[in-house]
Structure 1
Amino acid sequence: MANYTLEEKESFTVLGIGTELKSDYTDYAGINKEKADFWSAVKQDGRLDKLKAVATNDYIFVVNEAVNNKMMHYAGVMTEASLPEASRVIQFPKGEYLVVKGAAETAEELSNMVTGIAFGQVLPEAKNFAYVGGPNTAVIMGQRNGSVFGEMWIPVVRK
């Protein structure tokens, strides 16, 4: 099984700028293209920089959440501030989280990698815990030795 930990986390809030993903949830190529296009747009038009300017730390949150039966994807930061560009305040519950650490050449590769490991390997093989919904996030934490590093955080419950 892939390398992972279970960690207790306090509740936290992420301010996000989002988009609805229109591809079928099984269309990974379509979803990844939509996500890449979204990230390209928020970087180019300055919305990501506006989020970073109000953040309480240097982490960038790549959030996935089902909202009103829609598959939503957000760029977010931890903050108490609000921005007119922001589309959602995302509440993450206090509790246990599946944490998968990783490093890759780019933030996009890191996000796709830790998401794939968590949902493709760890959760299907897990016997003692399960993901029962709610927001999940890849957390881009920084750069080291030419790589981007971070973690996937998924709220889980014990079986």
Structure 2
Amino acid sequence: MGNYTIEEKEGFIVLGIGVELKSDYTDYVGINKEKSDFWQGIKEDGTLDTLKKIATNHYVFTVNEAVNNKMMHYAGVMTNETLPKATRIIQFPKGEYLIVKGEAATSEELSNLLTGIAFGQALPEAQDVAYVGGPNTAVEMGEKNGLVYGEMWIPVVRK
């Protein structure tokens, strides 16, 4: 067990503003471009700042979830409020989560790094747990020494 931990988490809710990813799920270049365009758009139009203003903490969630057979990608925050632009209230279940920690130069690099390690290395190594779907999230937690740091949270079940 090298680059991940398994932790128990209480259930939590993230208010998300999202986009449907149209690229094939194996088209990583296409998916990453769609995600990058989405994040650039919500930063430029102020949507991300609006989300951050209603957050109960300083975390920014990058959520991936399959909804009605569509690949959805969200920017979200923990909050008790709602927004007209909000597209989904995302429920994360109470239970065990596979956690990968990391840091990178930008938010986008952090999300891509954590996702790659979590799905490419940690989940295949985790012999006693399995990801059975549901929302997963890269959580940007802050900055230190010029780097953005955070964690990937993937709900898992015991095999």
- Give the TM-score band, short-chain normalised: over 0.9
Greater mean deviation of Cα atoms: 13-22 or 123-132: 123-132
The residue type equivalent to 1:150 in the other structure is: G
Query: When the two structures are superposed, what TM-score results if normalisation uses the length of structure 2?
Result: 0.98
The CA deviation at 1:126 is 2.0
Task: Measure the CA separation in 1 of the matches of 2:126 and 2:59.
Answer: 28
Contact 1:2/1:121 (<8 A) preserved:
no
The CA deviation at 1:13 is 0.2
Given the alignment of the two structures, is residue 100 of structure 1 paired with residue 104 of structure 2, yes or no?
no
Give the alignment of 1:1-159 within 5 angstroms.
Answer: 2-159=2-159
Give the SS at the match of 2:17: strand
1:91-131: per-residue Cα shift (whole Å, max 9, x none)?
00000000000000000000000100000111122210000
The residue type equivalent to 1:115 in the other structure is: T
Runs of 4+ with deviation above 4 angstroms: none
Task: Measure the CA separation in 2 of the matches of 1:141 and 1:126.
Answer: 24
Greater mean deviation of Cα atoms: 66-75 or 1-10: 1-10
Question: Quick one: percent identity of the two aligned structures?
Answer: 75
Stretches of structure 1 lacking an aligned partner (at least 5 in a row): none
1:18-61: per-residue Cα shift (whole Å, max 9, x none)?
00000000000100000000000000011111100100000000
Q: Number of aligned residue pairs: give it.
A: 159
1:51-85: per-residue Cα shift (whole Å, max 9, x none)?
00100000000000000000000000000100001
